[in-house]
Amino acid sequence: MANETKIPYKIYLEESEMPQAWYNVRADMKNKPAPLLNPGTLQPMTAQELGGVFCQELVEQELDDHTPYIPIPQEIRDFYKMYRPSPLVRAYCLEEKLQTPAKIYYKFEGNNTSGSHKLNSAIAQAYYAKKQGLKGVTTETGAGQWGTALSMACAYLGLDCQVYMVKVSYEQKPFRREVMRTYGASVTPSPSETTAVGRKILAEHPGTTGSLGCAISEAVEAATSQEGYRYVLGSVLNQVLLHQSVIGLETKAAMDKYGIQADIVIGCAGGGSNLGGLISPFVGEKLRGEADYRIIAVEPASCPSLTRGKFAYDFCDTGMVCPLAKMYTLGSGFIPSANHAGGLRYHGMSPVVSQLYHDGLIEATSVEQTKVFEAATYFARVEGILPAPESSHAIRVAIDEALKCKETGEEKTIVFGLTGTGYFDMVAYEKFNNGEMNDYIPTDDDLAQGFAGLPQVD
Amino acid sequence: MANETKIPYKIYLEESEMPQAWYNVRADMKNKPAPLLNPGTLQPMTAQELGGVFCQELVEQELDDHTPYIPIPQEIRDFYKMYRPSPLVRAYCLEEKLQTPAKIYYKFEGNNTSGSHKLNSAIAQAYYAKKQGLKGVTTETGAGQWGTALSMACAYLGLDCQVYMVKVSYEQKPFRREVMRTYGASVTPSPSETTAVGRKILAEHPGTTGSLGCAISEAVEAATSQEGYRYVLGSVLNQVLLHQSVIGLETKAAMDKYGIQADIVIGCAGGGSNLGGLISPFVGEKLRGEADYRIIAVEPASCPSLTRGKFAYDFCDTGMVCPLAKMYTLGSGFIPSANHAGGLRYHGMSPVVSQLYHDGLIEATSVEQTKVFEAATYFARVEGILPAPESSHAIRVAIDEALKCKETGEEKTIVFGLTGTGYFDMVAYEKFNNGEMNDYIPTDDDLAQGFAGLPQVD
């Protein structure tokens, strides 16, 4: 089958072809994402206010909505070369198995120890912290990919790394925790007694197994209460999407190199870091009127912020210590059902992705987790890669679109983001293998509870 | 640092540069590895006898010690393209951190779901089984890398896959087991009640946690007692080393492409599959008088078959149902101390590697596991890859050789095999991180017990 075409199974760019600047899609957006608001004054956060929490250069990147290309410092580009370029894979085996005329490509970000794309922003954020002369950084982690990525970046640069890990993950994923420790990070189950907000949450909800929003609150408090520390975040923020644009830029460069034109671009969506990074250059071309693409964000039916959420200002964290962001949200109190195994459990969505969706530049769809794991298992057997549950949301929709092509006979070119591997998600796979996995779709009443907690801003 | 040289961080061959034939080092060996013997008659195993256990074409490969190049079937080459070529990585960051004038390269085989090089032979063995019209294959697995690789290959080809997993691993590594199940394999803890030899071992040693040699006996019995099944093995055999030569061939091709000349080639050694595959083309040049290299096999001090074993005929399995092989061995009854966490725990060594060592073509050294995990952690933090404990034996010696160059000022080029990743070995890493890991070196008396069980053949 490979003989019929000149396109290899895996397209690797040369080092000299790797991006030298990140692409800032906000520069091409007519409707800019709304600014972060100070939760006390409800006024836009100033650079000075943000500088208390984030590193200075990252604050500049966070606020910069007009510079289209921001150079990637040489040190970060050198680090990228250790695990990038990531391959753009032609899914020949999947196409053959599906008997589809569609051409399927995926950008695979799982070939590094963090197991995902998260490392792209972790090294950038750690680099600027180091450059500013800081001692260390704090963060939260759920499934553990972001915490692992940050601990790798900090180990490389000699920075202290303090991770607040959602307690249920801390207990269910001891191996993730141990990878972070191997990279020298300290890992604290959240909520914990080490912060005021953690103690408050524990007092109000004894026995809670924690949430991302809660761990964020603790990590922010830890950063602001220690000299020489700042907080870093693995998704949602503009700066993170900026760094993750390296995914889309490499994808585009690989496609251009072989004259491949995408019809559909698909990414899974939790906080929006991978999706935003993957689609940025494609959306940019749409915004500039240079090309058109169908772009699809895929989210879990059990945590449907884009497809069923409200576009409103909301808290980014449970403790309500962080700035407010205007985004599609289910309310900061929303927590997906305990039987949800598929990742992507954040209550909100990156303001950039939210604005693009609001403006009709991208579509969104939601899928149920048993369908996601069916696709994951099918893909693993055919393409040899065991995908992360998060990534498998995109696989599900890519397969569905390829099957539509089989019906219509259209030879569409489908590109999706395979964000990472599922080696640390075998508890969820086991549940699926044993036929014990269920679906859960929140009722309108469930969602109403989350919406009731939205702050009154607009 | 990368700017000072034209050699990229990662050398990927083009698909068109990938090997089209395996290299059979036996063809160039003056002293051929000794033949397998029938355990009953002590006569060399005939092709017909071997055909009862192994697929026909694999038997031919097993016995062929004169054909230097054996073509890789197109189907296998297509499968290889899903996860190969593997990168030859220039360890710029490690060199800088060590402040060594040495140039360090590693061939990284961990970028596939089996997490190691094992897939190279798994797909080949499954392919020939499928071609012969078999229903399925049986095998044993210890740490689980081989079992995972075989289950991936069988899932791809639609073959049944029955894995006997050493009981202690089955219980301690439920996630490995679950990956195999995700690929559709059935996994049985060994020793089990499903075979006569398993029942016998359980009766004699109630409560045993199993061993590789014991799981091999069960898998062989399962293969020979079911219609349409054959047994496959992940290491030791000549055929496995033949398939694994793809590692060395790619390494050599990548080096030749950039005009890199190795001085030292280092590989970890358990059964010898990775080591034999990596070094084959280099040994071939030595045998043909075309070049000279220092070649170092690294084994655990707790299971020192090359450095402290005897070169003699021995059983390959505990149940003594398999043919005898002439190899460096600690005796088929030898089991490493329970505190040994570093893999590479087989009592013997591939006959090819054993003969090369006996003839002085390669060196061998042993390292203690705390030193191995020190190197593993150091490497993870500097190069970003969390290595398998097995692979870390080679890392340890590569670092030591690079530090010698620092003392002498020699700019040697060191190449080592990084066989895989350690994502499923976090229990061992945790032990090390907590300072709870000890070393164990068997006494001469310990070894004497193993030697006492050697069969009288020579």
Domains of chain B: 2-20+72-115+239-452 (3.40.50.1100), 119-231 (3.40.50.1100)
Q: Tell me whether residues B2 and A81 touch, CB distance under 8 A.
A: yes
| Contact with chain B for residue A457, Cβ under 8 A | no
| Contact with chain B for residue A18, Cβ under 8 A | no
The residue type found at A318 is T
Q: Which residues of B227-238 are buried (b: 16+ CB within 10 A; e: fewer)?
A: eebbbbbbbbbb
CA distance A183 to A317: 27
pLDDT at A212 exceeding the cut of 90: no
Helices (H) and strands (E) in chain A, counts: 18, 15
- CA distances to A15, A74, A257, B84, B395 from A81, in Å: 7, 11, 19, 19, 20
| Contact with chain A for residue B73, Cβ under 8 A | no
A235 token code pair: 């998704």
Mean pLDDT of the region A273-297: 98
Considering CB atoms only, which of A175, A386, A427 is closest to B182? A386
CA distance B345 to chain A (A): 23
CA distance A330 to A49: 27
**By three-state DSSP, how is residue A290 classified?**
coil
Backbone angles phi, psi at B351, to 5 degrees: -55, -35
Question: Is the distance from CB of B141 to CB of B163 less than 8 angstroms?
Answer: yes
CA distance A97 to chain B (A): 10
CA distance A309 to A347: 9
Rounded to two decimals, the ipTM of the complex is 0.94
Q: What DSSP designation does A26 have?
A: G
Q: Percentage of residues in chain B with pLDDT exceeding 70? A: 98
| Contact with chain A for residue B380, Cβ under 8 A | yes
Question: Is the distance from CB of A302 to CB of A423 less than 8 angstroms?
Answer: no
Residue-wise pLDDT tens digits, A76-135: 999 999 999 999 999 999 999 999 999 999 999 999 999 999 999 999 999 999 999 999
| Contact with chain B for residue A14, Cβ under 8 A | yes
What pLDDT does B4 receive? 45
| Cβ burial, residue B310 (10 Å; 0-12/13-18/19+) | middle
Question: Is the distance from CB of B24 to CB of B33 less than 8 angstroms?
Answer: no
A155: nearest CA partner in chain B: B381
Q: Tell me whether residues A93 and B82 touch, CB distance under 8 A.
A: yes
pLDDT at A353 exceeding the cut of 70: yes
Best A109, A381, A383 member to test B by mutation, with max B CBs in 10 Å, is: A381
Q: What DSSP designation does B87 have?
A: P
CA distance A117 to chain B (A): 14
Best A78, A113, A172 member to test B by mutation, with max B CBs in 10 Å, is: A113
Q: Tell me whether residues A183 and B93 touch, CB distance under 8 A.
A: no
What pLDDT does B2 receive? 41
Q: Tell me whether residues A178 and B430 touch, CB distance under 8 A.
A: yes
CA distance B445 to A447: 70
What pLDDT does A333 receive? 86
**By three-state DSSP, how is residue A323 classified?**
coil
Residue-wise pLDDT tens digits, A416-448: 999 999 999 999 999 999 999 999 899 999 999
Backbone angles phi, psi at B70, to 5 degrees: -120, 120
What pLDDT does B3 receive? 42
What pLDDT does B188 receive? 97
CA distance B381 to chain A (A): 6
What pLDDT does B345 receive? 86
What confidence category does residue A173 fall into, taking pLDDT thresholds of 50, 70 and 90? confident
CA distance A421 to chain B (A): 8
What pLDDT does B353 receive? 98
Helix-strand-coil split of chain A, %, nearest 5: 45, 15, 40
Residues of A in contact with B8 (CB under 8 A): 14-15, 81
Q: Tell me whether residues A384 and B421 touch, CB distance under 8 A.
A: no
CA distance A211 to A303: 13
B95 token code pair: 């060199």
Residue-wise pLDDT tens digits, A1-36: 444 458 999 999 999 999 999 999 999 999 999 999
What pLDDT does A3 receive? 42
Q: Tell me whether residues B152 and A111 touch, CB distance under 8 A.
A: no
Alpha helices in A158-186 (DSSP H): 167-172, 174-182
Q: Percentage of residues in chain A with pLDDT exceeding 90? A: 89
| Contact with chain B for residue A96, Cβ under 8 A | no
Give the orientation angle of helix A369-383 with respect to helix B145-157, to 10 degrees.
Answer: 90
CA neighbor of B183 nearest in space, from A432, A372, A378, A427: A378
CA distance B448 to chain A (A): 38
CA distance A393 to A375: 8
Task: Provide Rg for chain A, Cα atoms.
Answer: 21
Residues of A in contact with B430 (CB under 8 A): 174, 178, 181
Residues of A in contact with B181 (CB under 8 A): 430, 433
pLDDT at A224 exceeding the cut of 80: yes
| Contact with chain A for residue B96, Cβ under 8 A | no
CA distance B385 to chain A (A): 6
CA distance B272 to B325: 14
Q: Tell me whether residues A178 and B433 touch, CB distance under 8 A.
A: yes
Question: Is the distance from CB of A314 to CB of A324 less than 8 angstroms?
Answer: yes
What pLDDT does B458 receive? 62
pTM, two decimal places: 0.95
Per-residue pLDDT for chain B (458 aa), expressed as one digit of tens each? 444 458 999 999 999 999 999 999 999 999 999 999 999 999 999 999 999 999 999 999 999 999 999 999 999 999 999 999 999 999 999 999 999 999 999 999 999 999 999 999 999 999 999 999 999 999 999 889 999 999 999 999 999 999 999 998 898 888 999 999 999 999 999 999 999 999 999 999 998 888 888 899 999 999 999 999 999 999 999 999 999 999 999 999 999 999 999 999 999 999 999 999 999 999 999 999 999 999 999 999 999 999 999 999 999 987 888 899 999 999 998 888 877 877 788 899 999 999 999 999 999 999 999 999 999 999 999 999 999 999 999 999 999 999 999 999 999 999 999 999 999 999 999 999 999 999 989 999 999 999 999 998 86
Q: Tell me whether residues B93 and A81 touch, CB distance under 8 A.
A: no
Mean pLDDT of the region A322-335: 92
What pLDDT does A321 receive? 82
